[in-house]
Amino acid sequence: MAILRITDSGVLLDERPKGEEIALAEWRAGVRPEAGRFELFIPNTEDAEALAEIVKRFDAVILEFPDFKDGRAYTQARVLRERLHFTGELRARGQVLCDQALFMARAGFDAFEIGGGDAEGFAKAIGAYSFFYQPAADSARPIHALRAEKRAAA
């Protein structure tokens, strides 16, 4: 499974997961990883906020898009990043298409399981817009802040 990652040095394609994967249900059933790096898979029906104590033990969280039209994981991602301040890898799984990659990136995803998907198309889609109106989980400053800056500079 090819994984596309947004890194400081650009958008890179890479085959390796970050570590051993555990599903939330397994964790709840008492499965505990031994050592090393671990990834938690969370179904999109879960309230991410209730998982604060669990996710902080993981290096990566995987959220799912069973269908690209099912947008629940966008909310989970923002909650993980903006409210729980999760700093590990946040990876999108499922029907992950380049046309939604920008929304995913803005919601806090920094890795995408793209299968045979077109890495170049993803990179292009993620960079398709220069400005955004609303604050989200990425580092983009909203347009109103840019406007205020411009006024201050004038």
Partner 1 sequence: MYRYDEFDETLVRERVREFRGQVARRLSGELSEEEFKPLRLMNGLYLQLHAYMLRVAIPYGTLSSRQMRQLAHIARIYDKGYGHFTTRQNIQFNWPALIDVPDILDDLADVEMHAIQTSGNCIRNITSDPYAGAIAGEVDDPRVWSEVIRQWSSLHPEFSFLPRKFKIAVTASDQDRAAIRVHDIGLRLHRNGSGDRGFEVLVGGGLGRTPYVAETVREFLPERRLLSYLEAIMRVYNRLGRRDNKYKARIKILVADDVGDFRRQVEEEWGKSDKDRLDAPLDEVLRIRRFFAPPKFEKPGDASVLLAKARTVDAEFDRFVATNTLEHRQPGYAIVNISLKPIGLPPGDISADQMDAVADLAERYSFDELRATHEQNLCLPHVRKDDLFAVWRALDEAGLATANIGLVSDIIACPGLDYCDLANARSIPIATRIAERFADPASAADIGELKIKISGCINACGHHHVGHIGILGVDKKGEEFYQIMLGGSAAADASLGAITGRGFSSSEVVDAVDRLIGFYKANRGEGERFLDAYRRLGADPFKEVLYGDIAHH
Binding site for partner 1 (CB under 8 A): 47, 49, 68-72, 74-75, 78, 82-83, 99-100, 102-104, 106-107, 125, 128-136, 143-148, 151
**Strand 111-113 relative to strand 3-7, pairing:** antiparallel
Residue 125 CB, shortest distance to partner 1, in Å, is 8
Residue 2 CB, shortest distance to partner 1, in Å, is 19
Q: How are the residues of the chain apportioned to helix, strand and coil, as percentages rounded to the nearest 5?
A: 35, 20, 45
Whichever of 37 and 103 has its CB closer to partner 1, that residue is: 103
Whichever of 60 and 137 has its CB closer to partner 1, that residue is: 137
Among candidates 98, 92, 127, which has minimal Cα distance to 110? 92
For residues 55 and 86, the answer to whether their CB atoms sit within 8 Å is yes
What is the distance of C-alpha 93 from the center of its chain?
10
Residue 123 CB, shortest distance to partner 1, in Å, is 14
